[in-house]
Amino acid sequence: MILYYQTHSPFARKALVFAHEAGLADRLEVIHHETSPTLRNDRVYAENPLGKVPVLLRADAAPIFDSDVICAYLDTVHGGRRLVPEDGESRWQALTLQSVAQGLAQTGIALRWETVRRPEPLRYEALGDGYTDKIDATYDWLETTADFEALLHVGHVALATALSWMAFRGLPSFRDRPRLTRWFDAFERRPSMQATPLSGETHD
């Protein structure tokens, strides 16, 4: 399998960390591709009409994307414990945490547009403030509600990679939430995270 990747994407890293946790990393050829909304990458567009990574290429079937779908697929091709619980309350808790983590990263990306990436005269301060409120509310929810004691699942992978990316980009910090911080610091020491460091800048 080939994974179209980006070393500074929280979503691509999520898929690769998941592969490591599932024992599948040695079955992936990882190829870095630069993409952004203002930089067309024809190789990526040829496999994903949204022009985004991650994309998983398979020898015997069509490409699949995005990170949620790639993780769900990878969970069907390893022989260990499922990281996307198959049924019961644990499934809904894992998928909800994954959704919160995905939304956190997406909101962080949107905040960067309003504070760093968009030309200054075109920035909308009220929108940036709204994104910041969403991020703070998400941190509060995670601090009080998320189940960090459950067996490792896809939601934990999504959250760890999202939080790591927020820190990497200097976005609003979660470190005044002690429970969340303790969990993140422990997760970041896992071999899957150590093997997939974030690096590089966005190219527009």
- CA distance between the termini of the chain: 28
Looking at the chain, which residues constitute the CATH 1.20.1050.10 domain(s)?
A: 88-194
User: Domain spanning 2-74 has what CATH number?
Assistant: 3.40.30.10
**What pTM did the predictor assign?**
0.96
When pLDDT is averaged across residues 72-100 and rounded to a whole number, the result is: 97
Contacts of 54 (CB under 8 A, 6+ apart): 3, 4, 5, 6, 9, 11, 12, 15, 16, 65, 66, 67, 70
pLDDT digits (tens, 9 = 90+) for 186-198: 999 999 999 999 9
Architecture of the 88-194 domain: Up-down Bundle (1.20)
State residue 203's pLDDT score. 83
Q: What are phi and psi of 3, to 5 degrees?
A: -110, 115
When pLDDT is averaged across residues 1-20 and rounded to a whole number, the result is: 98
Q: Is the pLDDT of residue 202 over 90?
A: no
Looking at the chain, which residues constitute the CATH 3.40.30.10 domain(s)?
A: 2-74
- 10 Å Cβ neighbour count for 203? 12
Cα separation, 12 vs 161, whole angstroms: 9
